[in-house]
C-alpha cells in the first residue's frame, strides 16, 4: 500500500515537472524551431544592406528558415540598364541564406511597378518589349537556378475589380497580347519554367486573401492554367493588413478552393500596420493584442491548410518596415519584432500557433 502511494506521488511529481519543462521549452523556442517542427517555411523579406548590423543578422538567422529579398531581385536592381545585369545585392541575400541553411524565395520576375526608367519610358514596340521581357525573365531565373526554390513570376497583375491591370506588359503597349487577358502572364510563366525547370512558380498579389472579385479572377486564371498545362505551382497571398483584417474571414475558404486546383499557397508579405505616434510606438497599447489576434488568425489558417507551405512577413523588425514611410508616419509597428529587435505579442501569437500545430 505504502509502495503504491509512493509510486503515485512519484508519478504525479514527474508529470508536473514534465508539464513545466514542456511549457518552458515551447515558450523558449524560436519561430524557426517551431516552424521546423511542423515542416513549415517561415520567412521574412530582407535587405542585404542590413546584414552588417549584428542584431539584424542574428535575429533573422535565429528566427527564420526562409529569406526573400525585399527589393534587390526586382527589375531595377537586377537589370538597371538594358542587357546589363547586376546580381551583387541579390547574391548577398542568397549567400546569407545558404550560410544559415535557409531557403530563398525570389521576388519578382515581372511587375507593372518600379521598373527602371529605361523600361518604363523606353517607348518600345510590342515586339521589342516581348524580347526585353523574355530576356529579363530568362537571365534572372537562370542565374538563380538551384538557388531560388520558388519565384513570384508575376506580381500584382489584377485590378481590384478582377480585370487584368493595364500595364506596360499587358496593353501599354504590351508584348503583343493586348486584350487577350492573362495570355501575357502565361507567357511569363512559360519563360520562367524554361529558364529554371526546378523552381516553383507563383503568382503573387495583394487584397486577394479573402473571397472577392480579384481573388475570383486569380482562381479562374489558375484553374485555366492548370487545365491547359501552363506551368504554375502556387499562389502568393501578400496579406498586407490593417486592424480591420480585411478578407481574413474568408481566407480559409479562398485557400481551400485554390488548394483544390493543386497549387501551393504561400503567405508572402504579411504585416498588420497599427496607428503609431511620432516615435513609432503604438498610439493605443490595446492595438497590440488586436494585432496579435490577426497574426493568430492568418497563421492558423495557414497551418490548418496542408497546401499552405510558407508563412512570411514583409520584413521582421519595425526598424525597417515599409509601412511608416508608405503611410507618412501614420501606421507602423506592423512586424513580429520591434525597432529594438524585441518580440511583440504578434510574435508570441505566431510561436503559439506553430507550437500548438506541432502537438497535433
Binding residues vs ligand G3I (CB under 6 A): 70-71, 74, 114, 155, 206, 238, 269, 322
Kindly state the smallest distance separating residue 355's Cβ from ligand G3I, in Å: 29
Kindly state the smallest distance separating residue 112's Cβ from ligand G3I, in Å: 11
Return the ∠ at Cα 298 (arms to 293 and 300), rounded to 5°.
90
Q: How many secondary structure helices (H) and strands (E) does the chain include?
A: 13, 11
Residue closer to ligand G3I (CB basis): 206 or 219: 206
The verdict on whether 156 is a catalytic residue reads: yes
CA dist., res. 342 & res. 55, Å (int): 10
Cα-Cα-Cα-Cα dihedral sign, residues 50, 53, 55, 57 = positive
DSSP 165: P
CA dihedral 101, 107, 108, 111 (to 10 degrees): 180
Residue 67, number of CB atoms within 10 A of its CB: 23
- List the one residue out of 316, 348, 344 whose CA is nearest residue 58: 316
Burial environment of residue 58 by CB neighbours within 10 A (0 to 12, 13 to 18, 19 or more): exposed
Q: Which residue has the cell 517607348?
A: 123
Kindly state the smallest distance separating residue 271's Cβ from ligand G3I, in Å: 9
Kindly state the smallest distance separating residue 156's Cβ from ligand G3I, in Å: 6
Task: Provide the grid cell at 234.
Answer: 502556387
Kindly state the smallest distance separating residue 192's Cβ from ligand G3I, in Å: 17
Residue closer to ligand G3I (CB basis): 71 or 327: 71
C-alpha of 231 from chain center: 20
The verdict on whether 186 is a catalytic residue reads: no
Residue closer to ligand G3I (CB basis): 168 or 353: 168
C-alpha of 32 from chain center: 15
Residue closer to ligand G3I (CB basis): 101 or 329: 329
Residue closer to ligand G3I (CB basis): 34 or 148: 148
Selected catalytic residue, list 68, 156, 186, 347: 156
How far from each other are the two terminal CA atoms of the chain, in whole angstroms? 38
Distances (CA, A) of 29 to 23, 32, 252, 298, 328: 10, 8, 27, 20, 35
CA dist., res. 261 & res. 51, Å (int): 39
Selected catalytic residue, list 68, 79, 186, 269: 269
Residue closer to ligand G3I (CB basis): 112 or 226: 112
Q: What are the respective helix, strand and coil percentages of the chain, to the nearest 5?
A: 45, 20, 35
Residue closer to ligand G3I (CB basis): 270 or 354: 270
> Which residue's CB atom is positioned nearest to ligand G3I?
322
Catalogue the active-site residues. 156, 269
Amino acid at each position: 500500500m505504502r509502495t503504491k502511494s509512493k509510486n503515485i506521488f512519484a508519478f504525479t511529481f514527474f508529470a508536473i515537472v514534465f508539464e513545466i519543462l514542456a511549457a518552458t521549452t515551447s515558450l523558449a523556442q524560436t519561430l524557426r524551431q517551431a516552424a521546423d517542427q511542423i515542416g513549415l517555411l517561415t520567412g521574412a523579406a530582407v535587405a542585404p544592406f542590413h546584414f552588417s548590423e549584428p542584431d539584424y543578422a542574428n535575429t533573422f538567422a535565429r528566427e527564420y528558415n526562409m529569406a526573400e529579398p525585399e527589393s534587390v531581385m526586382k527589375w531595377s536592381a537586377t537589370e538597371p540598364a538594358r542587357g546589363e545585369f547586376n546580381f551583387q545585392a541579390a547574391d548577398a541575400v542568397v549567400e546569407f541564406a545558404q550560410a544559415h541553411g535557409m531557403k530563398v524565395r525570389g521576388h519578382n520576375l515581372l511587375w507593372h511597378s518600379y521598373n527602371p526608367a529605361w523600361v518604363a519610358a523606353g517607348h518600345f514596340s510590342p515586339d521589342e518589349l516581348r524580347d526585353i521581357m523574355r530576356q529579363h525573365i530568362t537571365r534572372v531565373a537562370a542565374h538563380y537556378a538551384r538557388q531560388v526554390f520558388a519565384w513570384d513570376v508575376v506580381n500584382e497583375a489584377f485590378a481590384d475589380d478582377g480585370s487584368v491591370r493595364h500595364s506596360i506588359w499587358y496593353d501599354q503597349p504590351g508584348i503583343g497580347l493586348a486584350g487577350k487577358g492573362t495570355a501575357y502572364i502565361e507567357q511569363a510563366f512559360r519563360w520562367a519554367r524554361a529558364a529554371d525547370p526546378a523552381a516553383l512558380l507563383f503568382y503573387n498579389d495583394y487584397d486577394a486573401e479573402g473571397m472577392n472579385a480579384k481573388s475570383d479572377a486569380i482562381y479562374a486564371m489558375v484553374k485555366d492554367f492548370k487545365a491547359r498545362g501552363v506551368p504554375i505551382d502556387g499562389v502568393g497571398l501578400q496579406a498586407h493588413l490593417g486592424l480591420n483584417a480585411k478578407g481574413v474571414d474568408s481566407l480559409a475558404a479562398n485557400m481551400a478552393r485554390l488548394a483544390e486546383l493543386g497549387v501551393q499557397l504561400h503567405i508572402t508579405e504579411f504585416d498588420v500596420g497599427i496607428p503609431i505616434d511620432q516615435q513609432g510606438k503604438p498610439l493605443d497599447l490595446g492595438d497590440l493584442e488586436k494585432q496579435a489576434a490577426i497574426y493568430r488568425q492568418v497563421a492558423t489558417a495557414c497551418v490548418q491548410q496542408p497546401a499552405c507551405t510558407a508563412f512570411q512577413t514583409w520584413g521582421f523588425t519595425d526598424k525597417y518596415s515599409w509601412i511608416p514611410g508608405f503611410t507618412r508616419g501614420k501606421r507602423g509597428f506592423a512586424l513580429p519584432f520591434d525597432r529594438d529587435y524585441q518580440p511583440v505579442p504578434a510574435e508570441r501569437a505566431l510561436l503559439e500557433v506553430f507550437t500548438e500545430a506541432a502537438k497535433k
